[in-house]
Structures are given as C-alpha cells and as structure tokens.
Amino acid sequence: MKYRSLNDKNHKVSFEDAVVRGLAPGKALYFPEEIPKLSQDFFQNLDKYSKEEIAFEAIKAFVGDEIEKNGLQEILKKTLDFEFPVVPISENTGTLELFHGPTLAFKDVGAGFMAGCLGHFVKKGNLGKITVLVATSGDTGGAVANGFLGVEGIDVVILYPKGKVSEIQEKQLTTLGQNITALEVNGNFDDCQDMVKKAFSDSEISEKRQLTSANSINVARWLPQMFYYFFAYKQLAEKKEKLAFSVPSGNFGNICAGMLAKKMGLPIDHFIASNNDNNVVTRYLKSKKYTPKPSVQTISNAMDVGNPSNFVRILELFDNEFNSLSQQLSSFSYSDDKTRKAIKEVKDKYNYVMDPHGAVGYLGLQEFLAENPEYYGTFLETAHPVKFLETVEEVIGEKVEIPASIKEAMNKEKKSFEISDYAELKDFLVQ
C-alpha cells in the first residue's frame, strides 16, 4: 500500500514513511492510494471472529508486508487488550463505550497501535532516534504518553493548552516522566497544533531531531479507529433497522475512520458529526462554505477544534462531492448548557452517566432519530465520565466512582515546562 499526499498526488510513500514522517511536504496529510473492499462473507460471519482477528483483516492491506503477519498480530493483541461494549440506553439507542483502555479514552487504540508500529520500525535499526511531537486538546496527550512510555528509541513531546484540559487529563500526560515531556502552552489547542505543524517544516529542527506526529493526522493513529465500528457492528448485526452512528467530533479522525470502514463495505447507513460550539462542519453542511474560526473553550474540551485537520480526508473519501457527502453525513452542534441538560436527563431517565463528549454525541443522535425513526442509533462514549469529574458530579448531583488507575495518577507530581510561542518550542527542540 502506498500513501499519497493530499496536496500532491505524485508524492507517494510507503506505510513506514507515512508513519515516520507524520505529514507530507507542505503540511499535507497522507491518504491511502486505494481503499480495499472486504468480502460480504467476512461481514456476514463477524460473530465467528475475535476482535483481534477482525482488526487484522481490516488493517492488513493498509500495512502490507512492511510489518510481518506475526508482528502485526502482536501489536493488535497488545493494543486491543480491553473491551468495546455496546450498551443499550433505550429501545432505539445504544452507546459504544470506548473508555475501557489504560487512560480511559478512545485514543488509547490509535496511540497504542502507532506506538507498536513505530517501535517496530525503530527496532529495524535504520531510523535512529525519533521524537514524537503531538498537540492535545485533552485525551490525546495521556493516550500517547501511555502508549509510548518506555518505547526504546523514541522521545515524546506533548503540547497542551494551559488551563484548558481537565485536572485528570493533565495529570495523565505530565506525571509519567521517562521519555515523556509535557509543554504547557499559553494559548488554545489551535495554537498548539499550529506550533506542531510549523515545527515539521522547520529545517533547523529537522537537522537536530527526526520528528513525527501522534495526532490523528498520522495514518497510524487515524486508521485503527476504524476498528470501533467493526466491533460495534458485530454486536448490532441482529438489528433489523438501518444503523446510524453519532460521533463526538473535534479533529474528525474518529468519524473519518468510520466512514473509511463504510467504504470498505461495513454496513453502516449514516453518520452524525456531533459538535459543541466549535461547529465548522455543522455550518459547512448548511452553507456549503468551509470557514474555520478560532476555537472556543467548552466543557467537552477534546472537541475544541476550530479547524479540524481530518475533514480534508473525509472530503477525499467523497471525491470532494458535497452532495455525496451530505447524503451520508449529518451534523449538529450544542451549547454547554444543552450538554449539561442531556447528562442530567439521561442519568435520571436511564441511570446512565455520560461524559460531556458522549452527551454531545447523544444529542446529535436524538436530533437525527427524531426525523429518521427507522434507524437504530449508536452514539460513541469516547471518555470515562471520571475524566470530567467536576462537571459531571455537579450536573448529576452525586459522586462518580474513581477507578484505581486515576487515583494513582492524581497522587503523582505534575512535571511540565511552560512556553508562550513557537520560538520557545523551537529552542526546546534544538537544544
């Protein structure tokens, strides 16, 4: 499998090169040269496969022979060492829980898979020392830190916006030490992401460090997110209704991976991109005009993205045809007040506790189902509610049980370096 730049169709690289480089020249994203179709027999017999076997069948064409079968299977076994249950909420609604991994967030899968792939390539011995440079609006940082912790030959530098991640999220990315360094940025997530992209095109930095990114712009972070939809479909295959998935969307890597799975043949009928007040895609689907704007802070902070990087990949999946895209994708956006109200209502009515991101996904799904009752809808719970403890407990009026892993992290000492601009990041990277 070759990967081409979305800015230059003639620029093509291997899977390894795409993973190691992160971005193509000119800050462009990589995209698979072809999208394989899986057999109908495979989908009809999903119940006979383990989740590791399903993931292997889904990802193997994208990796090719660059990681041998046994090596890829071992990476998947380690990455997927937890469950992905679909929990019924009401008669026509369920939630896919993606928070049962080591940092209690959906990004554990992408981070773990990328760490396994990059670690494999480093062990081949021709890459030298690699620095993973990543921006986080919340959960990416902790997942990447955990996934890459102690991986030989790899340093990790994480940028996060000061005061704009939850206390638990901050502890997860600032307390591990070893090969993990956290940089606390005086700004928002877009500032962090802009700094990362600028660093990749800075020749002075590339002379000192070999950089790659672990944001969902990296194909090894983005692609394995398709697994969630295969795992969910296995559990939902007996449903007679059409299937819709509502995805809380920030940088749009997760929903893009789901739409890729559909292109591969997975029988999903519709997607809903559920936004908070950072709603560039909601506005695009109404106006046909894509107009990014600075991000605003919300209680669903992992979605506080004003210019989602992966949306260009979604456009590519549909050959930039607005009508084709709009037939398969809806989008709605919700304020913090509506998000809080949804958390309270679902707890009172169904005794289920959602985190703010899952609540936005729930709201988008209910709005879609109100007009399309023939669907069975699944919204994604992308993080454990404990990661937003203060918000959730205030809304539901009761305590949320804190998992042991979180208690351990909260007792550790925060270690980070504060920076204010790109010059300070550059100084850190070239020192």
Strand 210-212, strand 30-32: pairing: unpaired
Residues 251-270 pLDDT 10s = 999 999 999 999 999 999 99
pLDDT at 27 over 90: no
pLDDT at 189 over 90: no
Retrieve residue 118's tokens. 């990059």
pLDDT value of position 394: 96
pLDDT band (50, 70, 90) for residue 193: confident
pLDDT value of position 407: 83
Is 107 a known active-site residue?
Answer: yes
Q: Output the CA–CA distances (angstroms, integers) from residue 333 to 127, 283, 354, in the order listed.
A: 43, 9, 17
Intra-chain end-to-end CA distance of the chain, in Å: 37
Residues 118-146 pLDDT 10s = 999 988 876 778 999 998 877 778 888 88
| Cα radius of gyration rounded to whole Å, the chain | 20
Closest Cα partner for 383 from 268, 250, 231?
250
* CATH classification (class only), 83-104+221-396: alpha beta
Given the residues 107, 197, 347, 426, the one annotated as active site: 107
Q: Is 134 exposed, middle or buried (0-12, 13-18, 19+ CB in 10 A)?
A: buried
| Average pLDDT across the chain, whole number | 93
pTM value is 0.91
